[in-house]
A = this chain, B = another copy of it.
Amino acid sequence: MEIKVLHQIMDWNEDVSEDVRQTLADRHICMINVMGSPGAGKTSLITALIGALKDRFGIGVIEGDIAGQVDADRIAALHIPTVQLNTDGACHIEAMSIQRVLPHLPLDDLDVIFVENIGNLVCPAEFRIGESLRVTLLSIPEGDDKVEKYPLMFTDTDCLVLNKYDMLPYFDFDEERVLSNYETVNPGAPLFRVSSRTGEGMEELAAFIAGRIREAIK
Interface residue ranges, A against B (CB under 8 Å): 2, 5, 9, 37-39, 65-68, 70-71, 89-91, 118-123, 126, 139, 141-143, 145-146, 148-152, 164, 167, 170
Contacts and interface: CB of A to CB of B under 8 A. Distances in A.
Given A150-B38, A167-B170, A66 B141 contact: no
A37 B119 contact: yes
A145 B141 CA distance: 17
This chain's copy number in the assembly: 2
A9 to B, nearest CB: 6
A153 B20 CA distance: 32
Contacts of A37: 37-39, 119, 142
A122 B150 CA distance: 15
26 contacts: A37-B38, A37-B39, A37-B119, A37-B142, A38-B121, A38-B142, A38-B143, A66-B122, A66-B150, A67-B149, A67-B151, A68-B148, A70-B145, A70-B148, A70-B149, A89-B122, A89-B152, A91-B91, A91-B120, A118-B122, A119-B121, A119-B150, A123-B123, A141-B141, A141-B142, A167-B170
